[in-house]
Copies of this chain bind each other. A is one copy, B any other.
Amino acid sequence: MDEAAPRTRKRKAVTIYDVAKRAHVSIKTVSMVLNNLPAVKAETRARVQDAIDALAYHPNQLARGLASHRSFMLGLFCDGNAIGSNYIARIQMEILKTCQKEGYHLVIEYVEPSSPNLARQVQSLMVQSDLAGGILTPPLSEHDGLIEALKHTDTPIARYSPERSMPGFIDVDMDNVQAGYDMAALLLSLGHRRIGFVHGEYDHADARARFAGFRRAMAEWKVPVDESLCLPGEFTYKSGMDAGDVLLSLPERPTAILAANDDMAAGVLAASLRFNLRVPEDLSIAGFDDSLFSQAMWPRLTICRQPLTEMTEAVVAALIRNEGVEPAAMVFPHKVIVRQSTAAPAEARF
């Protein structure tokens, strides 16, 4: 190879034939060693392993995928707006960790939910690379047109927080109604009565469910829901901040604000600073998800933890084994974690 022109011409790759020759076995035997199939004598296995090490052999995944129809790749589909979402960041991290344990790789694709040929695009990506599985996060996981088209795909598909679970899909979620109820109950128990709610996007099933749980708790406590305290948001820090501005400008402002995710809760916190409010003394704030950010910020946010670690392990396992598709969504237990952003309202103290 010419030293002056590096990386221009590929070195001839070391193949399974080279290993077989050196170990004095057939390529079949090498293949069995590589794939950890048991039917190889220990002595033979050792000889093959030595050859592999000596030649620094790396099996070609493309060839392996082509021959076996197993690409060992999973695809994660997100919409472009997911950028900066700490929720998606955590999902991605969890998938990556689990994939690595299983010897799988992750391909990331951003797609535009509003694109007219979204379904074809996603399907094409899965078929072309022969993905072992596709993973959909909201809002893609509840995109009717996409889901309808994907019913007829061979690739197993997992969805986080689908609108409603469906046979043929691997669905994971937590009980968002209960989670919403639990968080509202927490604030109510603390003594709050004027509670603001920052909704997520209305086409987002999780957000609606959390809001429903909130209302249920309010009803149970016999506290009427003041609709002027319930504002829309977009699951972003910015939208939480905007909603917070509105709520805190009110003549009679809420003593607590519950946001449908923690990025928005962080935004509400930022808004509270503009009004020179202390958290939690003057205002309690709570959210959902438990992103790394919500744990790092100050004051640390009281949240309802979404069990993304457990959900992701289930998703990846089901995808990889492509085992019988669950009839219903797998629902994992959430957990209320009280940190520093919530306290009893000022009037209720002492």
Contacts and interface: CB of A to CB of B under 8 A. Distances in A.
B86 A84 contact: yes
A7 B322 contact: yes
User: A89, A97, A267 — which one has the most chain B CB atoms within 10 A of its CB?
Assistant: A89
A271 B322 CA distance: 48
Contacts of A156: 7
A296 interface: yes
Interface stretch (A39-47, A125-133, A251-259): A125-133
Interface string A104-140: 0111111000000000000111011110000000000
A35 interface: no
Contacts of A92: 108
Contacts of A335: none
A328 interface: no
Nearest to A105: B107
B109 A105 contact: yes
Contacts of A23: none
B61 A129 contact: yes
Interface stretch (A182-190, A194-202, A210-218, A235-243): A235-243
A274 B298 contact: yes
Nearest to A237: B296
Interface stretch (A24-32, A66-74, A172-180, A222-230): A66-74
Contacts of A13: 127
A105 B130 CA distance: 13
Contacts of A5: 324
A54 interface: no
Given A62-B66, A105-B129, A128-B60, A6 B292 contact: no
Nearest to A292: B84
Contact of A71 (B62, B97, B124, B153): B62
Contacts of A97: 110
B10 A154 contact: yes
Given A106-B108, A107-B107, A155-B7, A84 B89 contact: yes
A322 B7 CA distance: 8
A270 interface: yes
A123 B58 CA distance: 9
A239 to B, nearest CB: 9
Contacts of A237: 293, 296-297
Nearest to A88: B89
A325 interface: yes
Contacts of A167: 6
A293 B84 CA distance: 7
Given A6-B167, A13-B127, A80-B93, 14 more contacts: A7-B155, A7-B156, A60-B66, A62-B129, A83-B93, A93-B110, A96-B109, A105-B107, A105-B129, A107-B108, A237-B296, A241-B296, A267-B296, A273-B298
10 contacts: A7-B325, A11-B154, A60-B128, A61-B130, A73-B107, A89-B89, A105-B107, A106-B108, A107-B108, A241-B296
Interface of A: 5-8, 10-11, 13, 58-63, 65-66, 69, 71, 73, 80, 83-84, 86, 89-90, 92-93, 96-97, 100, 105-110, 123-125, 127-130, 153-156, 167-168, 236-238, 241, 267, 270-271, 273-274, 291-293, 296-298, 322, 324-325
